[in-house]
Amino acid sequence: MLEARGLGVQIGSTTILQEISLRLHPGELCALIGPSGAGKSTLIKVLLGLRSPSEGTVTVSGGPISSAGPVGYVPQDDALHHSLTVRQALTFSARLRLHTVDPAGQGARIDAVCEQVGLGERLDVRIRSLSGGQRKRVSVALELLSQPDLLILDEPTSGLDPGLEAKMMGLFADVAGGGRVVMVATHAMQSLSRCDVLAVLVRGRLAWLGRPADALRWFEVDRFAGIFDQLPRHAPPVWARRWMGSQECRTFAGRPPPPVRGAAPERLADTSTPQPPATAPDLKAQLEALKAEYARKKP
Ligand SMILES: Nc1ncnc2c1ncn2[C@@H]1O[C@H](COP(=O)(O)OP(=O)(O)OP(=O)(O)O)[C@@H](O)[C@H]1O
Ligand SMILES: [Mg+2]
């Protein structure tokens, strides 16, 4: 479970986030929406431990994120090596992230994620020659390799056509359905009803956290884009107070975790049987080997 309590971020005299509390269960796909500059990327960085909050705490399954299992993060700006082919990027990443898996297993995982994001045809194309939407999908594929228990994606569908956006949101719903927490910051409105949870951020405040369909009623609109037209009706602290003081907020906070579809992923099902620790990998040596291989293959 991902839990944030009373998060605040202050930069100089500017308040970027204030009083953000949320709880997401394994199995839930949460969409994070809000006007540009509302604080979505900042909140994501705080949730992932990439930025320290000025106030509040974040826990994953009750502990600090540093002790959580694999975590996936697709940043708003891609961090890809543009001179590599898609296959090279995935292979290098698989060697680092799946170092306890044999090469055949790593290859199978690469094939599986390429299939998931629809990149099978582009495996031997250099990343610099891909379209913006294809590059986004490479970023997503890299994070899916390690089957993270917590996956947070910052506008992963920007640059995708509506059909592909719907497919990717379907993929994130499937990933969450396997017992993971998935959060997606997005400006795309057409697939929000596929999400289990909708969070609406306005100028650093949480104006809503609940079921997407209930949000339409709360904001008195008939389509999600209409929420943005309603936000100027109240000041952000008023929205936040109305939400936190509502019966809907209390009911939603006490919701039961969703049932996990299909077999639970091993990492989540594995809590009762302690496993012997894997042999500590010599990550530095592996990194050096990868660097050397990359330098050899560089055009
Ligand atoms: N390092 C920083 N120093 C000062 N201000 C910052 C910093 N990072 C973000 N901000 C400010 O915090 C606010 C929230 O930024 P953030 O990137 O989180 O918004 P966002 O909701 O992700 O926007 P977008 O939808 O455009 O990506 C903005 O006003 C931004 O200018
Ligand atoms: Mg952003």
All structural domains of the chain = 1-69+150-156+176-255 (3.40.50.300), 78-148 (no CATH)
pLDDT, one tens digit per residue, over 118-132 is 888 899 999 999 998
Q: Is 48 exposed, middle or buried (0-12, 13-18, 19+ CB in 10 A)?
A: buried
Q: What whole-number distance in Å separates Cα of residue 66 and Cα of residue 272? A: 21
**What pLDDT is stored for residue 263 in this prediction?**
45
**What pLDDT is stored for residue 290 in this prediction?**
64
Q: Report strand pairing: 55-60 vs 29-33.
A: unpaired
Q: Shortest CA distance to 49 belongs to which of 91, 97, 7?
A: 7
Among the bound ligands, the one closest to the CA of 35 = 1
**What pLDDT is stored for residue 160 in this prediction?**
86
**What pLDDT is stored for residue 266 in this prediction?**
35
Q: Which atom of ligand 1 is nearest to the CA of 16?
A: 12
**What pLDDT is stored for residue 278 in this prediction?**
39
Q: Shortest CA distance to 239 belongs to which of 58, 35, 36?
A: 35
Q: Which atom of ligand 1 is nearest to the CA of 45?
A: 18
Instruction: Mark 134-150 as b/e (b = at least 16 C-beta within 10 Å).
Output: bbbbbbbbbbbbbbbbb
CA of 35 to the centre of ligand 1 (A): 11
Low-confidence ranges of the chain (pLDDT < 70): 261-287, 289-290, 293-294, 296-299
Mutate to test the pocket of ligand 1, among 15, 18, 41, 154 (most ligand atoms within 8 A of CB): 41
pTM: 0.87
Q: Are 271 and 69 in contact (CB under 8 A)?
A: no
Q: What whole-number distance in Å separates Cα of residue 168 and Cα of residue 191? A: 10
Nearest-CA residue for ligand 1 atom 8 is 42
Q: Shortest CA distance to 240 belongs to which of 188, 202, 284, 214?
A: 202
